[in-house]
Amino acid sequence: MNNKPILFIDSGIGGLVYCMDFIKKCSQEEVCYLADRENFPYGQRAKDELAQILVSLTEKLIKKIDPKIIVLACNTAAVSALEPLRQNFPNIPFVGTVPAIKPAVNASKTGKIGVLGTARTINDPYNQHLVDECGKDCEIIGIAAPDLVEFIEQRFDKADKNEKIAIIKKYIDIFSSKGADALVLGCTHFLHLLEEFQNEAAPSIQIFDSLDGVTKRIEHLLDENNSVLRANPSSKPEYKLLLTDKEPPDSIWENRAQDLGFKLSLI
């Protein structure tokens, strides 16, 4: 049995949805979630710059917490740095979070697929590669939404339902006007508003995300090699929320850690 932690990395709260989905299904596993506040937001950084940041950060985290699996719980991080990380740290399994374009393409009847994400994710050639793999002639309608990332990071805990609906409705209206019938949430932050997206987009637009696929991939890695990566089921796991920041955590992060039952600390 292996009680080393599984590490989730994002620039802020976006990947927490993925982290909590995994904990719900594999509650015996030790988990560390890193919010890289020092380098937030990832979406505005050049691809090479972000890759260098994540390689350096990962090296530090491996020395500090010795994870058995690392999850890039961020679409921008995955499309920018997944391959460099695998090359630099070949002994650790990495799980990427990439836009759920394949199921969206297969489900679309209009052949027009909306992708909402950061500028870095939207402009990455990997998206077209996913479409090409499906063998279908589809158009990707990509929209970068940095204001939505900021809203979820800074306002989500305080915003009421009307405010949440208002900020996503303008994007749904754009995709609808362009004939899209499938919308991929290409940023993990946006899954905090998954229910609002689903309700406001129905019935003309179907919403897609990679949440289930990421959790299943982690479970698959845990079960490889006769389950040697699985934690001891009788042990009590510890969940940690780590922040990269020179300043002490503000009350928002303290409240988040308390609500989730995570131990909060700076690295």
Q: Is residue 1 part of a domain?
A: no
pLDDT cut 90: percent of the chain above it? 83
Same domain, 109 and 201: yes
19 given a catalytic annotation: no
Out of 19, 32, 138, 187, the active site residue is: 187
Instruction: For residue 132, give the 3-state DSSP assignment.
Output: helix
In the listed set 184, 208, 232, which residue is the last one of a domain according to the structure?
208
Same domain, 168 and 110: yes
Q: Is residue 248 part of a domain?
A: yes
Kindly report the CATH number assigned to the domain that includes residue 201. 3.40.50.1860
Q: Are 233 and 211 in contact (CB under 8 A)?
A: no
Amino acid, single-letter form, for residue 247:
E
Q: What is the pLDDT of residue 226?
A: 67
Q: What is the pLDDT of residue 261?
A: 94
187 given a catalytic annotation: yes
Out of 26, 74, 134, 138, the active site residue is: 74
Same domain, 165 and 256: no
In the listed set 190, 208, 226, which residue is the last one of a domain according to the structure?
208
Range of the domain at 238: 6-96+211-266
State how many domains the chain has.
Answer: 2
Tens digit of each residue's pLDDT (9 = 90 or more) over 153-209: 999 989 999 999 999 999 999 999 999 999 999 999 999 999 999 999 999 999 999
Same domain, 89 and 216: yes
Same domain, 191 and 113: yes
37-56 as b/e, with b when 16 or more CB fall inside 10 Å? beebbbbebeeeebbebbee
